[in-house]
């Protein structure tokens, strides 16, 4: 009998925001799997740390930083092979995922490789998007409002490549609430687009929501540089913030 692969969302960072289902799966795990970035520590493992049994086998996928996709895909190939070995031996595997496994997570790379051959269950988690709304005190969507989640590189590249004269402005104009993720090195380009759209006053900048290093600021007061785990939230209908 083959084991089951669980893709387990851990929420945004606060271990208390792990669901009861995820906590139980981790506490009883024989095998856990998680990615690390370029030899660094794993944020996913850190969120779940207090729940991981000392006896659990740990499958670590070290994903290199690279613009090309090949090296990262090779890391997932290697990880998937180790997970296959555990599943074939009848052991369940709990893959740890920051946030939600299917919401901008790397779990999809394991899912794509393994879903045809094994039972896979995905346990949804609290996303960084609603966490940013919670810590900012900004109800992000009500009634029939339209919410768009825009990764920052999409904005930056749209400008550079002139994909369209009006994109991403159309999306920003057509939505009531916009969450811009993955700011990192695209922060300046994103700020410029928001300024042009006249929305700087409505924009809140959030870093590492729900963790001890959390930062929440009006965008106009945000630092020059933004880490990868940061977000801008624009709620057009909100009262002026602060």
DSSP 184: G
Rounded-to-integer distance, Cα 73 and Cα 120, Å = 20
4, 15, 56, 82: residue in contact with its own copies (rule CB under 8 A): 15
**Binding letters toward its own copies, positions 161-190, x by CB under 8 A:** ------x--xx--xx------x--------
Note whether 127 binds its own copies by CB under 8 A.
yes
Contacts of 59 (CB under 8 A, 6+ apart): 31, 32, 33, 34, 79, 82, 83, 86, 93
Nearer to its own copies, 77 or 223 (CB): 77
Q: How many of the other CB atoms lie within 10 Å of CB of 64?
A: 13
Cβ closest to its own copies, residue 42 vs residue 127: 127
The reply on whether position 26 binds its own copies by CB under 8 A is: no
R_g of the chain computed on alpha carbons: 19
Q: Does 72 bind its own copies (CB under 8 A)?
A: no
Q: How far is the CB of 41 from its own copies (least distance, A)?
A: 23
Q: Is residue 148 involved in binding its own copies (CB under 8 A)?
A: yes
Burial label for 198, CB within 10 Å (0-12, 13-18, 19+), is exposed
Contacts to its own copies from residues 199-238, by CB under 8 A: 210
Nearest to 4 by CA among 18, 27, 24, 25: 25
User: Residue 42 interacts with its own copies (CB under 8 A)?
Assistant: no
* Region from 16-24, 58-66, 189-197, 212-220 binding its own copies, contact rule CB under 8 A: 16-24
Distance CA 122, CA 131 (A): 20
Contacting positions for its own copies (CB under 8 A) = 9, 11-12, 14-21, 23-24, 100-105, 107-108, 111-112, 115, 120, 122-127, 130-131, 133-135, 137-151, 153-154, 157, 167, 170-171, 174-175, 182, 210
């Amino acid at each position: 009998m083959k084991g089951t692969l669980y893709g387990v969302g851990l929420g945004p960072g606060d271990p208390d925001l792990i669901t009861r289902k995820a906590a139980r799966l981790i506490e009883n795990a024989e095998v856990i799997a998680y990615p690390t970035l370029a030899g660094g520590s794993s944020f996913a493992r850190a969120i779940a740390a207090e729940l991981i049994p000392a006896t659990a086998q740990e499958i670590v996928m070290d994903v290199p930083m690279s613009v090309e996709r090949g090296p990262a895909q090779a890391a997932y190939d290697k990880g998937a092979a180790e997970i296959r070995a555990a599943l074939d031996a009848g052991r369940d595997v709990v893959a740890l995922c920051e946030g939600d496994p299917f919401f901008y997570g790397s779990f999809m790379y394991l899912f794509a490789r393994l879903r045809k051959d094994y039972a896979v269950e995905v346990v949804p988690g609290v996303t960084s998007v609603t966490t940013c709304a919670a810590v900012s005190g900004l109800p992000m969507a009500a009634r029939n409002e339209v919410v768009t989640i825009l990764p920052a590189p999409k904005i930056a590249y749209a400008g550079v490549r002139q994909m369209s004269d009006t994109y991403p402005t159309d999306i920003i104009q057509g939505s009531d609430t916009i969450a811009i993720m993955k700011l990192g090195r695209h922060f300046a380009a994103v700020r410029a687009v928001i300024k042009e759209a006249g929305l700087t006053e409505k924009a809140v900048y959030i870093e590492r929501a729900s963790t001890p290093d959390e930062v929440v600021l009006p965008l106009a007061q945000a630092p020059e540089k933004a880490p990868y785990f940061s977000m801008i939230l624009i709620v057009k209908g909100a009262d002026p913030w602060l």
